């Protein structure tokens, strides 16, 4: 197995281990003991869905099936924003300890960094700036999905999407701001890609 595929396999396994670890931890929360409810609860979160996307893409790469440049750019953009938004808006005042530490570290530090390394070294390049709207479909689609789930269940996964707390106008502004930040980051990825060539 080539280094490219070996790295992809390792990243896939790390993502799956983090997802499974969070699944187990959620079983200790009231009302989330049944596995089906736990899965449904986890699927509310952008972090979980993005790490699942990376696990799928890396599994494909590890098996020898190449994934297109836009899928890799989408994964990179969104997992980087997972790490950045967590550190700026969502990180707890004190680092988590014990078994809670692993999924938190993997989701918000290890997987973003390793994905960036994989993309920098092996992902197909260069990219077309006109493809940026495609990369933004993941976060924009997620916002719509999260709002629908929140309206139905009364629980929003992230405070900045909470319609009950902020109202529709403020949440819309929050989403516009997020899309703007994602767009700037995507443009930076495009610029970096212009100067890189993937290894075999």
Q: What is the pLDDT of residue 7?
A: 98
pLDDT of amino acid 27: 76
Domain boundaries, the chain: 3-194
What distance in Å separates the CA atoms of residue 23 and residue 4, rounded to the nearest whole number? 29
Does residue 31 carry a pLDDT above 80? no
Could you tell me the pTM of the whole model? 0.92
Q: What is the DSSP letter of 106?
A: I
Q: pLDDT confidence of 93, banded at 50, 70, 90?
A: confident
Which percentage of the chain shows pLDDT scores above 90?
74
Q: What pLDDT, in 10s, does the model give residues 153-178?
A: 888 999 999 999 999 999 999 999 99
CA 128 to chain CA mean position, Å: 22
- Name the percent of the chain lying above pLDDT 70: 96
Q: Which long-range contacts (CB under 8 A, 24 or more apart) does 96-99 make?
A: 99/21, 99/25
Among 8, 7, 12, 34, smallest CA distance to 23 is for 34
């Amino acid at each position: 197995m080539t280094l490219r595929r070996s790295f992809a396999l390792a990243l896939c396994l790390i993502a799956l281990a983090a997802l499974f670890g969070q699944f187990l931890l959620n079983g200790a929360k009231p009302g989330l003991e049944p596995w089906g409810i736990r899965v449904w609860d986890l699927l509310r979160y952008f972090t979980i869905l993005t790490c699942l996307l990376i696990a799928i893409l890396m599994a494909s790469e590890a098996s020898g099936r190449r994934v297109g440049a836009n899928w890799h750019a989408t994964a990179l953009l969104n997992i980087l924003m997972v790490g950045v938004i967590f550190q700026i808006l969502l990180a707890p005042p004190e680092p988590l300890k014990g078994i809670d530490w692993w999924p938190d570290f993997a989701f918000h530090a290890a997987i973003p960094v390793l994905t960036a390394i994989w993309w920098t070294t092996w992902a197909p390049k260069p990219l077309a700036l006109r493809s940026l709207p495609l990369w933004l479909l993941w976060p924009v689609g997620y916002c719509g999905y999260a709002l629908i789930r929140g309206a139905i269940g009364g629980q929003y996964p992230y405070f900045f999407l909470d319609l009950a707390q902020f109202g529709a106008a403020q949440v819309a502004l929050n989403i516009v701001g997020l899309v703007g930040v994602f767009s700037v980051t995507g443009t930076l990825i495009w610029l970096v890609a212009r100067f890189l060539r993937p290894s075999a």
